[in-house]
Every structure is written in C-alpha cells, then in structure tokens.
Amino acid sequence: MTASNSVMQMRFLRFRDTLYRFYFYGWLFKDAASGNMWERSAACRHNQEQAKWLPLYMCRWLFLCVILFGIAFITEAVLLCPVLSAFFYVPSILTVPYNLVTLVSWLFLIRE
C-alpha cells in the first residue's frame, strides 16, 4: 500500500469506523509483546507517545456517562418509568470500569 492510498483510505473512513475511533483507543497502540527486542522497544516507545490521548478518551466517556445518567434520571423522575430508565442507567455505569482501566493504562504508560 502506498502512502497516497493510505491517505485516501484515512480520508474516506466510514461513519461507523470514525465513531469507533472516537470512543475506542485500541487503534492508537502497537503490540509490545511480539517481535524481537528492538521491535518491542519501538512499540513501547510508540505506546508511551500515544498515551497523551488517553485523557481525551476518558473525558469523552465521562461526558457519555453524564449524558446517559441524566437521561436515565429524567426518565425515572419525570416519566415515572424505572424499567426504561434502566436502559440508560446500565450503560452509564458501564463507562466507569472502562474509565478505570483507561486510567490505570495511562498511569502505567506515562511513568518514566
């Protein structure tokens, strides 16, 4: 694949791919467990360099948590429908462990 092909491919990402990259950061990092010693070292340096983006992803998930929790609260308090509010409470709470894992990963990667 040439450089111009990869640029064109990046320019025309499908919406679901863009949405995936907006909320999930796995595509930023390289596997530091495979390859020889120099490849692993290069992957570790790359991952440490990319760790600067993790707080942004944590903020995105925190914003999503607040929005979902707010919708759930309004659904339960105003519409008096606790079953429907559960569909918003559960995803809002599931963002907490995601943020905790991201935080631990970020702290591990930024250490010297």
| Residue environment code for 23-51, b if the CB has 16+ CB neighbours within 10 A, otherwise e | eebeebbbebeeeeeeeeeebeeebbeeb
pLDDT digits (tens, 9 = 90+) for 53-102: 999 999 999 999 999 999 999 999 999 999 999 999 999 999 999 999 99
Domain tally for the chain?
1
pLDDT digits (tens, 9 = 90+) for 1-53: 555 555 555 577 789 999 999 999 999 999 999 999 999 999 999 999 999 99
Q: Determine the structural domain holding residue 45 and report its residue range.
A: 3-110
